[in-house]
Structure 1
Amino acid sequence: MTFAPEPLDPDDDRPPYEQVASSLGAAIRTRRIGPGEKLPSHKALTEMYGFARATIQRALRDLEDEGLVVSRKGSGVFVRNRTERPAGLRPYVEQAFSSSAVTIDFAGFSSETLHGALQEPMDKIRVGRLTPTSITVRILVPDMAVPQAAPVRREDCGDDERLRARMHDIMVGYARSIRDSMSELSHLGLVPETRVDVRVHSGTQFFKLYVVNQEDAFFGYYPIKANKVVAQGEAIEIFDLVGKDTVLFHYSVNDNESSSGTQQVQQARMWFDSVWETIARGYDLDGH
């Protein structure tokens, strides 16, 4: 393998180790360094990037924490072979925005995590570091106008309109913020075409799913936990779907059509499109 890193952005104000980790991570995600391949030595990476050995070591530790590489004593650092692993969503979303046409499909209980993951790439678009020509986001969430399996009152597992109204407001708030941020990028002339669509369905969403640029899928479960919330001015003990710290498992399309990663992404896309095109209904975030 002959690996030559992309030139680092001289205007990037992140610490050097983050810049190196981002560069190597991008090379791994785009298969410029393939699964199972060995990374260049610490000495070679030091020469390539022009940073101290300690900086390179810190960057590699971050990549290992992220689950992209594994260090083998006496052998070096290797890209992980498996695509099924707990993964952080943010770096993959940011990498997706280096493409010309960006697509993100999300199915879940609310779009809070997606909202957070979009902030950094949108900031980079605003300062000209990322320049996609189109962004399309589809958000698929439960219809809080009808009873759900959760959230429910803890005392009797009963439906409570106040809990559904609270979740509705949370969902609408994050989805509207995503839409407005995308519209701003378009109005400012930074991204020629942006589109955010929201649809709802009657079933309770017990898992979250992201499909990024049709090539990467992230899947995680919502555990049910006891919680206490305030709804319409009253504290209520509930059983709640908790997803903020959900472990996401990552699957990627690769050259092997029969590989687990490729099939998982294909099935995720099929499932999302089947629900989106059949039982899901369009939702107006402005309530018109």
Structure 2
Amino acid sequence: MTFTPEPLDPDDGRPPYEQVVSSLSAAIRTKKLAPGEKLPSHNKLTELYGFARATIQRALRDLEDEGLVVSRKGSGVYVRNRTERPAGLRPYVEQAFTNQDVFIDFAGFSSETLHAALQDPIDKIRVGRLTPASINIRILVPDMYVPQAAPVLKSDRSDDPRLRMRMHDLMVGFTRGISNQVHELKLLGLVPEALVQVRVHSGTQFFKLYVINQEDAFFGYYPIRPNKVVVQGEAVEIFDLIGPDATLFHYSINEGESSSGAQQVDQARMWFDSVWTTIGRDFNPDGQ
């Protein structure tokens, strides 16, 4: 198969190597460059993109650092197989915003990672580089007014309302930030339709799940580890759910209708909708 990249945006202010990284990573995510496929040669990529050879080399190094490609001495550069390394979330979130209609479902502990992943596409909408017609985000998080399996005190594994209120405040901060930023895009006339909904449930959330545009799912477990936090001016040792240590695994319907990836996406969507429509309760992060 002959690879032809999408035309680069002439108004893109990023360094050339970043533009090449973005283009090639998008091609890998959308399977225009399939797992195991050999990339065009350095000379061919230089010709395709119109940038210097050093720019192409820098871009390929960055893609290798991200785990998207692997360089084989004397053979060339190849797209990694999905099973060799978990994929990153942010490029898929940004790619989702190139669609006319953006759908993102998140289930997790606080939505901190989602908040961070949304910053780049939101900034690009503000400057006119991304122009979706609608954004619909659903956030499903645990109700921290209800005792949880974690976080708990390390000394005797007991519940401490102060720990839950600390997590509640973090969750409110991140969900409010997402809601305000997305709704601002609508108020400014940058996106015709924008909606962020938050619901809570009474269970402990031991994993995080993202379903992006109903086509890609990312799943990862929260490990529980000792931690020390400050609550109401007191240092407290706890057993905590550690979000940054959750390795995300990617599944896609683009792997084929009968593939395990497509089945994982289908089950993720089913699970999310079932919790959202049954035991999920509406929550307003603004407290109104």
Contact 2:30 2:254 in 1 (8 A): no
Q: Distance in 1 between matches of 2:73 and 2:107?
A: 40
In the alignment, residue 58 of structure 2 is paired with which amino acid? Answer: R
1:48 aligns to 2:48 (yes or no): yes
Secondary structure of 1:196's aligned partner = strand
Deviation at 1:278, TM superposition (A): 1.2
When normalised by structure 1's length, the TM-score is: 0.96
Q: Paired residue for 1:94?
A: 94
Out of 141-150 and 67-76, give the one that drifted further: 67-76
**Change in CA separation of 1:255 and 1:86 when aligned onto 2, cut-off 3 Å:** closer
Q: Paired residue for 2:280?
A: 280
Deviation at 1:77, TM superposition (A): 1.9
**Change in CA separation of 1:85 and 1:267 when aligned onto 2, cut-off 3 Å:** farther
Contact 1:251 1:262 in 2 (8 A): yes
Q: Distance in 1 between matches of 2:61 and 2:263?
A: 30
Q: Paired residue for 1:268?
A: 268
Contact 1:85 1:250 in 2 (8 A): no
Contact 2:152 2:238 in 1 (8 A): yes
RMSD: 1.4
Q: Paired residue for 2:34?
A: 34
Q: Distance in 2 between matches of 1:77 and 1:251?
A: 23
Deviation at 1:255, TM superposition (A): 5.4
When normalised by structure 2's length, the TM-score is: 0.96
Gaps of 5+ in 2: none
Gaps of 5+ in 1: none
Contact 1:84 1:250 in 2 (8 A): no
Deviation at 1:157, TM superposition (A): 0.7
Q: Distance in 1 between matches of 2:213 and 2:162?
A: 37
1:110 aligns to 2:110 (yes or no): yes
Secondary structure of 2:86's aligned partner = strand
Contact 2:104 2:138 in 1 (8 A): yes
Out of 75-84 and 216-225, give the one that drifted further: 75-84
Out of 155-164 and 72-81, give the one that drifted further: 72-81
Out of 7-16 and 202-211, give the one that drifted further: 7-16
Out of 27-36 and 199-208, give the one that drifted further: 27-36
Secondary structure of 1:86's aligned partner = coil
Q: Distance in 2 between matches of 1:212 and 1:260?
A: 17
Contact 1:208 1:220 in 2 (8 A): yes
- The 5 Å alignment of 1:55-74 reads 55-74=55-74
Q: Distance in 1 between matches of 2:162 and 2:277?
A: 30
